[in-house]
Structure 1
Amino acid sequence: MTADRATAPSRLPRALARRVGQDVPAALTRYRVMAWIVSVLLIALVLVAVPLKYLADVTGPVSVIGTAHGWLYAIFFVTACDLALRARWSIKGSVLVLVAGTIPILSFVAERIATRKTRAGERV
């Protein structure tokens, strides 16, 4: 019994260390897909729906695209956090990537930089 107790605590950190860093390519793919979807919807919202609302008094596209973008941004947030934990991104890099997802063109740039650095094994 004492041998089991002595080895049990040492197994926990190794098991946790094995989980961190696993499945980075799959997490990166999920992140990239969500980043593109959210970015395209944000551009459609800003360049199409909002001008239609204020210039033509058509409110339908803003409510549909805005709601879709909001829900999908929540999924993007989760996938970006998942990738950040698996790839061991810095907190600063993680926050910058998440904030960049709210700025129309910058979101594409942030996705490209995050992908390049993650594939190279660097911290974002």
Structure 2
Amino acid sequence: MKNALTRFRIIAWIVGVLLVVLTVGTVLKYTADDDTIVALVGPAHGFLYMAYLVLAADLARRARWKLGFTVLVLLAGTVPFLSFVAERVVTRRVQSARPLVGSAV
């Protein structure tokens, strides 16, 4: 579980930073007619968001989250700054959970 959480935390921060940069790029695209940032960061964010989905789903499965919480965590990578919040909430939740005795997870 520790490794899954570490992977999730890393990808959540990467996706969060890229989404903030992409948001700034989108503002520049429509205000300064400069789409350079969007052209560079957009595809990277899209690819890494897919990795975020996979790693979050893996952690959700291992931690046995309810579907509603899992969906909220998955969507957090689409709202600027929300992936940072989700990372903190998820980290606290996983670290506070007591491991099952004899669990192979």
The gaps in structure 2 that reach 5 residues or longer are: 99-105
CA distance in 1, matches of 2:36, 2:77: 23
Indicate the residue corresponding to 1:50 in structure 2.
Answer: 26
2:45 maps to a residue whose letter is H
Q: How many residue pairs align between the two structures? A: 98
**TM-score, normalising length from structure 2?**
0.88
Question: Residue 55 of structure 1: CA displacement?
Answer: 1.6
Q: In 2, Cα distance between the equivalents of 1:40 and 1:34? A: 10
Shift of 1:81: 0.5
Task: Work out the CA distance in 2 between the residues paired with 1:54 and 1:102.
Answer: 20
Consecutive unaligned residues of structure 1, counting only runs of 5 or more, are 1-23
SS of equivalent to 2:78: coil
- Deviating above 4 A after TM superposition, structure 1's stretches of 4 or more consecutive aligned residues are none
Q: How far has the Cα of 1:67 moved from its partner?
A: 0.7
Could you tell me the percent identity over the aligned residues? 53
Which amino acid letter does the alignment assign opposite residue 33 of structure 1?
I
Distance in 2 of aligned mates of 1:80 and 1:62: 25
Q: Which structure has the greater CA radius of gyration?
A: 1
Aligned letter for 1:55? T
Q: Between 76-85 and 98-107, report the one with greater CA deviation.
A: 98-107
Matched with 1:27 is: 4
CA positional deviation for 1:92 = 0.9
Match of 2:71 among 78, 82, 95: 95
Matched, 1:117 2:80: no
* Higher RCO, Cα 8 Å, sep 6+: 2
Matched with 2:59 is: 83
Structure 1 window deviating more from structure 2 (50-59 vs 28-37): it is: 50-59
Residue matched to 2:17: 40
